[in-house]
Amino acid sequence: MLSTHLGPSGDLAPWAVWLAVALAAASLGFLFVEMRRRERAGALIAGTGLLAVAALLAAVLRPARVSARESVVGARVVVLADASRSMALEQDDGRRWQARDRAIAAIARSAPNVRLSVLGFGSGPPAPLPLSPDGDAGELTTRAPHSALGAAIRALSSSAEERPAAVVVVSDGRLDDPPEDASDATLEALGAALHVPIDAIATTRDAPADASVRRVSAAGAAVAHVPLPLTVDVGCAGGLACDEIAVTARELRDDGPPTLLASGVAHVKDGKASLDLTITLERAGARIVEVAIAPVSGDRIPENDRRLVTFDVARERVRVLHVAGRPTNDVRALRQWLKSDASVDVVAFFILRTQADDVRASQNELALIPFPVDELFSEHLPSFDAIVLQDFDAQPYGLEKYLPNLERYVRGGGGLVMVGGQNSFVAGGYAGTPLAAVLPVDLDGSAGATSADTSPFVPEWTTEGRTAPLLAPLRDAIGDDLPQMPGANVLGELRPGAVALWSHPSRTTKSGRKMPVLAIGEEGDGRTVALGVDGAWVLEFSSLGSRTAGRGHGALWDGLLGWLMRDPRFEPAQVEIAGGCTAGLPSTLRVRTLPVEATSGDQKLVLDITRIDEKAPPVHVETSRPADASSLELPLPALPAGGYVARLRVPGGATTRYDFACEAGGDEWADSRPDIARLERLARASGGSFVLAPDAANLPLPKPTVVSAERHVTPLAPPWMWTLAATALLGVHWVARRRSGLA
Amino acid sequence: MRARSLFPLAMALATAVWLLLPRPARAFGEAGAFDPRVLLTGSQTGPARATAPARWSWELVQRTSAPARLRPSVVRADEPAIVDAPFLYWSGDSEVAPLTSAEVSGLRRFFALGGVLLVDDAAPGDRGEASAFGRSARREIARVLVDSTPVPIGPDHVVFRTFYLLRRAEGRIEGPPTLEAIVRGGQAQVIFSEHDLGGALARSASGMWERPVIPGGDFQRERAIRLAVNIAMYVLCSNYKDDQVHAPFLMRRRALSGP
């Protein structure tokens, strides 16, 4: 619609208009001062002066009639709404996300002309956020595991979209970025990134009644068998009475109840306490440690009373116990390989003399020491990362009574290799023992069972063996040709979940399958290898060994020991939780597998997830992996808070294990107190305003902009007429002044 | 009468039990047993003491848990089979001909894999002076392992405590108290003996020792056999007895057995 109004001539700059008006006002002011001292002809002088000044102003402004088609465009205001998990916490008037959404709705109502863009910030760039202050969108808008406001503002500043006229942050103030101790300069820099003021709205100022484990920090990386200092920060807010709080650190284990690693008492002062604990993790790999406080009466958020911390425990050195029943070339080769690796710490015990041997010397003339079977297989057992039983008969040396210990050791995460020989497997009396239950193959314990096949043979690669990453170094070293072996221990069927990598060319198991010669398997948290030959040394000493500089033997053991120790190089797949796991929310497991031959078609991947800390039904997922895909993502259902083990089975390879934790709130719930001071500082540093959520409607927002689409300017009179009128009226005013005696 | 009638039944029962027990595989693992392989070079047709290697294996089997080949093999330095096992026994009592390039190459391949060679001088002087064999063998080994010099190894070396605690080296003759060795990568790869170790081990088919041991007689022969056992154990276990776990025991034993 066309609107009409008066205005100055279009060739005048706004400052010139204002200058003319100011000069006219000043002239009138001088005239007024002058008239106060005048007693005669004052009205005449004032009247003519007023008209002269008005005419003069009109001569400068040259009024015109402006007809224009105009529209009002509201300023673009970006609302950055906190979409992190902490917004799901309760406060007095509901949950924080409800206060957040109500505040945004109030802004929208109070400034209808403002163009609001509501974006949620959490991890990474902000994204549009659905609002539902009284609905059920809370779960959807409080999923982010972080609250990175800084990252969101930086993403806005680098965006190609229209730059906002203002930014409004709606949050509880408990942010990851900027951190709590951010300087004013940091906050100013954040505002300067957008060149607009940042207004802040706090959802609440009141801290809930809550005792929690606010932070668990470790001094350095976790190394197996090495004490690791932890600092546990405990908080107590909202008027809870908690002077002393008991703190425990336990390792969650899937082979039994959690193991207490350390405990202590935190003395709370001014609502917080810090406690130093030292834990020692014996097993390498991903280990989940629960750090928990004792329940405090009146605590409204019990979920954050425990944190589940996943440590990726490294090995300073791999500790291997090498036990051999008699010295042979195979024992020699393995020992030399173990000793040649600086990262392996070997404790070796070889049986050099049996009761039947006639040494023809007194004990003092012998360099023999007792085999400390009791010490090794009881108190020292957990200190080893792997145990190699090579050609070793359990019966004569009293190992039988410690076989249950060995079974527990494996299930608890230890590695075990049984290497063949005339005293191994069935001949060693292991059939039907607890140790046999963790080997990857069955052992025939029946009367008259055959323990070995003494016919020389060349092992065959199985399909799985050809693609297994742990044998890739061996295949690289020697190719497809395996050397002839002098004989084999008779091994039975593969146990469930085990994989045969080499098989016997002619001998079969009871089911008719080819007898495994090299097999791997997993039991509980541990892994085992069965190598049913004692001729691996010919990979080193033979014409094949000479051609390959003896690298085959080391390559074989590098793969076997590396696989036992879960070296990522030898895993059939790499598994990780994409973006972490939050209890009660669906998550995604990202799987990267080795490339497969295009002709092999799609692969079936089988994923089983079991809970560590409590009994719960396992989650079973099966999916197909396209042959040309190197990675894929498996959606997981919502899981309750706890520690989990994911076991992924890839065809042609053993199981890949991945331990992870799901927390109810994670870092976002660890400190439930709102931090309005940080929001106030941010607003102040950027020139914005700060209000609490109930006062959101009072937040000053930028005015809208008027845009003219069509404009016609018609002068009221020609310029010469304005000039003539001004001259004439100035003349009249001059005459009036002269008559009354003024200059 | 009653006992006599029960005897067949008991025998049958024992036989049945024996048949039902898991069968040990005696031949299984023989390939990995200690084999004092005789090394032949040039015109050599056999070791200086033909029966010594077999006796060495026999003594090892009788005294220790280590398996050994009672019929040791023979290999020429230029044969591909030289790399088929980690030990070679080279003895002689006369000068050896210079090694051919094929023999040098074969021995180099053997050492490259970590093999151990015992050079046993079968004709040393009474005080252990090297014979023509000893001198020529050292000369040829120097061609194989260039820039490697033999060093004396005495009771402090692990060879002297791999099974027996030994104070010195002895063979058919008493000779010097030490052996000499070329040490590569921390391992004694070539061991030189000027004691005619094979002479102390050699035993005729009639069961008689072939050579007298001087000056110590049977006691010295026993110590020579122990040295041979230790060398075999060194081949099979390398430096196992250097492991820290053995140290306190062995130091205590040495102290107990006196100087």
Instruction: Say if residue A689's pLDDT is above 70.
Output: yes
Average pLDDT over residues A569-582: 87
Cβ-Cβ contacts under 8 Å, B22 against chain A: 426-427, 429, 431, 448-451
For residue range A481-511, list pLDDT tens digits in order. 899 999 999 999 999 889 999 999 999 999 9
What's the Cα-to-Cα distance from A455 to each of A362, A452, A538, A544, B28, rounded to whole Å? 40, 9, 16, 20, 9
Q: B39 vs chain A: nearest CA distance in angstroms?
A: 16
Average pLDDT over residues B148-177: 95
Adjacent-strand bridge partners of A200: A169, A690
Mean pLDDT (chain A) is: 89
In B40-99, the residues whose Cβ lies within 8 Å of chain A are 62-67, 80-81, 83-86
Residue B6 lies in a domain: no
Cβ-Cβ contacts under 8 Å, A329 against chain B: 31-34, 85-86, 236
Residues 6+ positions from B176 with CB-CB distance below 8 Å: B127, B128, B152, B169, B194, B195
Q: What is the pLDDT of residue B20?
A: 45
Pick the residue with more confidence: B18 or A194?
A194
| ipTM for the complex shown | 0.89
Interface test with A, best of B30, B230, B240 (most A CBs within 10 A): B240
Cross-chain residue pair A549–B112, CB shorter than 8 Å: yes
For chain B, give the longest Cα–Cα distance.
80
For residue range A266-324, list pLDDT tens digits in order. 999 999 999 999 999 988 888 999 999 999 999 999 999 999 999 988 888 888 999 99
Cross-chain residue pair B237–A352, CB shorter than 8 Å: yes
Q: What is the pLDDT of residue B18?
A: 47
Question: Considering only alpha carbons, which residue of chain B is nearest residue A550?
Answer: B113
Give A17-26's long-range contacts (Cβ < 8 A, gap of 24+).
Answer: A17/A61, A20/A57, A20/A60, A20/A61, A21/A57, A24/A53, A24/A54, A24/A56, A24/A57
Report how far residue A554's alpha carbon sits from residue B17's, in angstroms, rounded to the nearest whole number. Answer: 42
Q: What is the pLDDT of residue A571?
A: 87
> How many A-B residue pairs are in contact by the CB < 8 A criterion?
186
The residue behind tokens 């003494």 is A454
Selecting from A326, A365, A454 the residue whose C-beta is nearest the C-beta of B164 gives A365
Mean pLDDT (chain B) is: 88
Domain assignments of chain A as residue spans, ordered by start: 2-71+710-739, 75-206+674-703, 213-315, 318-357+366-564, 571-667
In chain B, the percentage of residues whose pLDDT exceeds 70 is 83
Report how far residue A198's alpha carbon sits from residue A705's, in angstroms, rounded to the nearest whole number. Answer: 20
CATH topology assigned to domain A75-206+674-703: Rossmann fold (3.40.50)
Burial class of residue B111 in the structure, from the number of CB atoms within 10 Å of its CB (0-12 exposed, 13-18 middle, 19+ buried): buried
Cross-chain residue pair B85–A329, CB shorter than 8 Å: yes
Average pLDDT over residues B195-206: 94
For residue range A238-252, list pLDDT tens digits in order. 989 889 999 999 999
Q: What is the pLDDT of residue B127?
A: 81
Q: Strand A198-202 vs strand A690-692: parallel, antiparallel, or unpaired? A: parallel
Instruction: Say if residue A9's pLDDT is above 70.
Output: yes
Average pLDDT over residues A581-585: 88
Do domains A318-357+366-564 and A571-667 share one topology? The answer is no
> What is the DSSP secondary structure assignment for residue A585, as one 8-state letter?
S
Residues 6+ positions from B241 with CB-CB distance below 8 Å: A367, B158, B161, B162, B250
Determine whether domain A318-357+366-564 maps to CATH 3.50.50.60: no
Low-confidence winner among A203-212, A408-417, A652-661, B124-133 (lowest mean pLDDT): A652-661
Q: Strand A587-593 vs strand A631-636: parallel, antiparallel, or unpaired? A: antiparallel
Instruction: Say if residue A412's pLDDT is above 80.
Output: yes
User: SS in 3 state form for A367-409?
Assistant: CCCCCCHHHHCCCCHHHCCEEEEECCCCCCCCCHHHHHHHHHH
Q: What is the pLDDT of residue A181?
A: 86
Does residue B243 sit at the A interface (CB-CB below 8 Å)? yes
Cross-chain residue pair B164–A358, CB shorter than 8 Å: no
For residue range A133-179, list pLDDT tens digits in order. 555 666 678 888 889 999 999 999 888 888 899 999 999 999 998 98
Strands laid side by side in the A690-692 sheet: A127-128, A115-121, A76-82, A166-171, A198-202, A690-692
CA A226 from centroid of its chain's CA atoms: 26
Residue B9 lies in a domain: no
Low-confidence winner among A327-341, A451-465, A641-655, B90-104 (lowest mean pLDDT): A641-655
Q: What is the pLDDT of residue B11?
A: 60
Residues B49, B201: contact at Cβ < 8 Å?
Answer: yes
Instruction: Say if residue B257's pLDDT is above 60.
Output: no
Does residue B31 sit at the A interface (CB-CB below 8 Å)? yes
A32: confidence class by pLDDT, cuts 50, 70, 90:
confident
Taking the whole predicted model, whether its pTM rises above 0.80 is answered as no
Residues A306, A666: contact at Cβ < 8 Å?
Answer: no
Q: Which run of H or E residues covers position A461?
A: strand A460-461
3-state secondary structure of A715: strand
Q: Which run of H or E residues covers position A466?
A: helix A463-467
Residues A167, A55: contact at Cβ < 8 Å?
Answer: no
Q: What is the pLDDT of residue A129?
A: 85
Instruction: Say if residue B1's pLDDT is above 70.
Output: no
Q: What kind of architecture, by CATH, is found in domain A213-315?
A: Sandwich (2.60)
CATH topology assigned to domain A571-667: Immunoglobulin-like (2.60.40)
Instruction: Say if residue B22's pLDDT is above 60.
Output: no
H-type alpha helices, chain B: 2-20, 52-63, 101-112, 132-144, 197-201, 217-237, 247-256
Residues A517, A488: contact at Cβ < 8 Å?
Answer: yes
Q: What is the pLDDT of residue B13?
A: 58
Q: What is the pLDDT of residue B21?
A: 46
In B186-215, the residues whose Cβ lies within 8 Å of chain A are none
Residue B116 lies in a domain: yes
The total number of structural domains that make up chain B: 1
Average pLDDT over residues A211-226: 91
Q: What is the CATH number of the domain that holds B234?
A: 3.40.50.12140
Low-confidence winner among A32-46, A709-723, B134-148 (lowest mean pLDDT): A32-46
In chain A, the percentage of residues whose pLDDT exceeds 90 is 56
Cβ-Cβ contacts under 8 Å, A346 against chain B: 243
